[in-house]
Amino acid sequence: MQLDSKCPTGPIETRWDRHRFSLKLVNPANKRKHTIIVVGTGLAGGSAAATLAELGYNVKCFCFQDSPRRAHSIAAQGGINAAKNYRNDGDSVYRLFYDTVKGGDFRARESNVYRLAQISLNIIDQCVAQGVPFAREYSGYLDTRSFGGAQVARTFYARGQTGQQLLLGAYQALERQIGTGQVQMFPRTEMLELIVIDGRARGIVTRNLITGKVESHLADAVVLGTGGYGNVYYLSTNAKGSNATAIWRAHKRGALFGNPCFTQIHPTCIPVSGEYQSKLTLMSESLRNDGRVWVPAQKGDVRPASKIPENERDYYLERRYPSFGNLVPRDVASRNAKMVCDEGRGVGETGLAVYLDFRDAIQRLGKSVIQERYGNLFDMYDRIAGEDPYQVPMRIFPAIHYTMGGLWVDYNLMSNIPGLYVIGEANFSDHGANRLGASALMQGLADGYFVLPNTINDYIASTKLDKVDTSHAAVRGAEADVDAITKKLLGANGTRSVDSFHRELGKLMWEYCGMSRTADGLKRALGRIPELREQYWRDVKVLGNGDELNQSLEKAGRVADFFELAELMCLDALERNESCGGHFREEYQTSEGEAARDDDNFSYAAAWEFRGVGNHPELHKEPLTFEYVHPTQRSYK
Ligand SMILES: Cc1cc2nc3c(=O)[nH]c(=O)nc-3n(C[C@H](O)[C@H](O)[C@H](O)COP(=O)(O)OP(=O)(O)OC[C@H]3O[C@@H](n4cnc5c(N)ncnc54)[C@H](O)[C@@H]3O)c2cc1C
């Protein structure tokens, strides 16, 4: 299979403009003759659905929550990047581009990343126009702060609720279109299959989560903005409902899966506290603007933080990375936290935590300033950990947070299945092997407000789309597949709960395909996951039936997909004999414990083709070339 990224060539500054000009348009009067399905109402799906409707397309929009504004994007805390350079601190589109390519450890496309940096400027204008209440300085100008992997302050924020405020902006735009009838909204409706007719994406099969009714919806193009798959690890910072079913089922219908092993582990989460925990809580990266990360200098030092004198503390990030200090990128901060804990210098009861200390910032700025900047995060920590972070340092530990991998898409955000577009966290496009903080919101909104609404016209204008109806054999076949899975899950009638299997899978993934990976461990996981998957289908117990609200059934289908995806993630991690970004293979590291890339052999995006459950998938490679930011050993020293 020939992978065509459709990336434009020539000067990078003008690629997107020239490309846009080369794309065909659909005349406004003709747009209303076309229907586009958008699955997802997070920042990516919500912004796309609203914008496509504003352009005049008929949009059918789906989400599994009871309201579009409950999409997981609402949880985003820290901020959104944009190269506005309001602070005059040396930022530029080129610097954001440079930081992102380097931050992703040279495993992303330069053309995509440059476009993202350019569009970052429009996003802030768009959101301000919508009334998103970004934090402002006393003078009234928009305020910014710093996030990891950058030496400028380019992160716009709304306290610790940036995702919520941005989503309310997209949601009100969406609601307006629902009001005009241009968007037909289907909440509590889960996509369970992609319908492919004559090689093109023409619709989806859904289940109404309240009534259990299975239905097909047809359209001229399908857009997936269905979020990431971090919950394959069971414990993650993602919303409990986030899942991979939409993209996985599309993968099984032929969509290639890009870089599945590229997962992000966030360094600042509240540590795991017990076996029955089902969720991990993020403490935003913004806290590292003022919080200092440290552990005791001596192994086994169990004194409370306040009793450990200054000269017996190791501010290891500041020591090892003096230029970036506590604001090194997430992969680097996470690995270092693991390293000090492995040395026996971790804190707290389990020894699997490091301190994030605000003592100095409170002394320097006063409690009220810290409260104003991070008040809701401090309150959240206090409620969960039972400790007052104004008095004692927070204890934090890395946790699964984001997935850089996702369905493979070209520069137009179209997958290899014509008519199937994938946006936001669900695609693999812009972050390479590690995403910089505050760049996911930027990508989701860039895709939804600005990229897709330009590129999708070209497909609609240049494709002859025959009329199809639900009696088509491909529709019937997809519906039958949904029915078969439901029957199989309900019929297993085994002894173990869905959650118990999911938890076991998550532990395996965290141990062997988590923060660090080895060939031996990955092979062990690849031996165990198929066994567990088979056991799942034999022994899972799903209560209730398919014709009603049945959350156990919903979860069961999602976990079945996680099993298959987990195997692909391990295969991809095993295939990639190098370390890059969040993919840290212990065999490949520098003498200082940093990720050692192998550009000669692995400078490509992996795009996997499904070959049947239990069969070896086929690997296709999209070579990556770097004309502007030349690959070097990433250094944050
Ligand atoms: C705790 C937390 C804090 C974060 N903070 C930041 C931050 O400060 N800055 C930043 O840049 N990034 C942050 N991120 C990352 C960022 O929030 C996400 O990457 C981003 O919001 C994903 O947006 P999305 O639109 O792609 O998907 P989501 O917001 O996950 O939306 C997915 C949508 O798809 C729908 N859906 C999924 N599957 C189906 C299906 N099968 N059928 C029907 N509907 C379906 C869901 O209902 C939902 O509407 C954070 C992430 C977490 C977990």
How far apart (Å, rounded) are the C-alpha atoms in residues 51 and 54?
5
pLDDT by residue (tens digit) across 478-494? 999 999 999 999 999 99
pLDDT by residue (tens digit) across 414-435? 999 999 999 999 999 999 999 9
Give me the sheet containing 200-208, strands edge to edge: 189-197, 200-208, 214-218
Burial class (CB in 10 A: 0-12, 13-18, 19+), 44: buried
73 CA distance to ligand 1 middle (Å)? 4
From the list 145, 253, 330, 533, the catalytic residue is 330
How far apart (Å, rounded) are the C-alpha atoms in residues 81 and 147?
9
Residue 576 falls in the annotated catalytic set? no
Query: Percentage of residues in the chain with pLDDT exceeding 90?
Result: 93
Pocket test of ligand 1: the residue of 64, 217, 287, 445 to mutate, having most ligand atoms within 8 Å of its CB, is 64
pLDDT by residue (tens digit) across 359-371? 999 999 999 999 9
Residue 116 pLDDT more than 90? yes
How far apart (Å, rounded) are the C-alpha atoms in residues 245 and 617?
18
Strands (E), 40-101: 58-62, 80-81
pLDDT by residue (tens digit) across 311-335? 999 999 999 999 999 999 889 999 9
62 CA distance to ligand 1 middle (Å)? 14
Taking alpha carbons only, the member of 231, 160, 183, 132 closest to residue 506 is: 231
User: Hey, whose CA ends up nearest to atom 14 of ligand 1?
Assistant: 76
566 CA distance to ligand 1 middle (Å)? 20
User: Hey, whose CA ends up nearest to atom 11 of ligand 1?
Assistant: 438
Res. 275 pLDDT band, cuts 50 70 90: confident
Residue 285 pLDDT more than 90? no
Pocket test of ligand 1: the residue of 38, 47, 60, 72 to mutate, having most ligand atoms within 8 Å of its CB, is 72
Residues contacting ligand 1 via CB (< 6 Å): 39-45, 62-65, 71-73, 75-80, 162-163, 190-191, 225-228, 237-238, 242-243, 245-246, 282, 401-402, 424-426, 438-441, 444
Torsion sign (Cα): 326, 332, 337, 341: negative
User: Hey, whose CA ends up nearest to atom 35 of ligand 1?
Assistant: 40
At 427 the pLDDT is 98
- Ligand 1 closest atom vs CA 64: 47
pTM of model > 0.85: yes
Residue 635 pLDDT more than 90? no
